[in-house]
Amino acid sequence: MKTQTSATNRDAGAGPRAQLVAVPEDRDGQRLDNFLASRLKGVPKSLIYRICRSGEVRVNGGRAKPDRRLAVGDQVRIPPVRVAERGEAAPPPERQMSRVEASIIHEDREFLVIDKPAGVASHGGSGVSFGAIELLRAARPRDTLELAHRLDRDTSGVLVLTRKRSALTALQAAIREGRVEKRYLALIEGALPKARLTVDAPLKKSVLQGGERMVRVDPDGKESRSRFSELQRYPGASLVEVALETGRTHQIRVHAQHLGHPLAGDEKYGDREFNREMRDKGLKRLFLHAARFEFALGERSYSFSAPLAPELAAALDAISG
């Protein structure tokens, strides 16, 4: 008679065993992927996403996505994970670490803020070995750094990291409750129908067969609101400020497309001819910049800002002439 070997039996054997970890109070509200990263030191984010997708990671006995928010007392099953057999993973290139360290615009006991360059992901994964968080952790091994929010890889500007768990939970609560002011600068095709308008259009995220994320306006999507304000008109384009009331994936890009005024340099949601015209003017990237990030925690207020990236300022000079 054949005997089946289950995952539980394998865990109980002589090899490494899965752990069942209760979420402590200081991790309440943390994303599952970040919780796993704190327990699986040295394991790349790409592997963490893989074990979540495969179902090896369980929360209270069920499958869970990497972005699930954990609650105190949740039981997280963490499978045995083998890190590369040839020793520790290679550290990030010194040039990449230096570039991100040079982008720091503020630091205190609770926060570290960078002016993230375009082309640098917020975190590793999906074919990216090192994002801003991994580079800064490598450069500052004594710090306990966590991402408070994220920016798309092609978006430059203010990215806030925390140095204390209490600061992370407080800021993430402020983000969820809509008490954070986030303002972006974007170059759109054409001109808005009026100087100020609000886009209130629900967004739904999907993943294509190749793993690419796509977002579209859909009545079954999540509530999403963006406030657009015209700052300057140019021939065939306008510089706008966008204030976010919600923070959905690709929100500004999809809302701009929904308006019929897509962002310059947006290869996913933009207009091909407009992008070509902007490339001819020297724009080689998405024109989207996180300019300001403001919030208050208790009696203390914070306001972080980053000037328009030099390559974007140069593009404006080119189209104004």
Give the residue-averaged pLDDT of 128-139.
Answer: 87
Q: Is 142 exposed, middle or buried (0-12, 13-18, 19+ CB in 10 A)?
A: exposed
Pairing of strands 19-22, 75-78: antiparallel
pLDDT over 70, % of the chain: 89
What pLDDT, in 10s, does the model give residues 176-220?
Answer: 899 999 999 999 999 999 999 999 999 998 877 666 789 999 999
What pLDDT, in 10s, does the model give residues 257-290?
Answer: 999 999 999 999 999 999 999 999 999 999 999 9
The mean of the pLDDT values for the chain is 88
Catalytic: which of 33, 152, 154, 266? 152
Main-chain dihedrals φ then ψ at residue 291, nearest 5 degrees: -90, -35
Domains of the chain as residue ranges with CATH: 17-78 (3.10.290.10), 94-165 (3.30.2350.10), 179-320 (3.30.2350.10)
Residue 152 appears among annotated catalytic residues: yes
Name residues whose C-beta falls within 8 Å of residue 95's C-beta, 6 or more positions apart in sequence: none
Supply the DSSP symbol for 237: E
Main-chain dihedrals φ then ψ at residue 173, nearest 5 degrees: -65, -40
Give the residue-averaged pLDDT of 64-79.
Answer: 92
What pLDDT, in 10s, does the model give residues 7-62?
Answer: 434 444 445 688 899 998 878 888 898 889 888 877 877 888 889 989 999 999 99
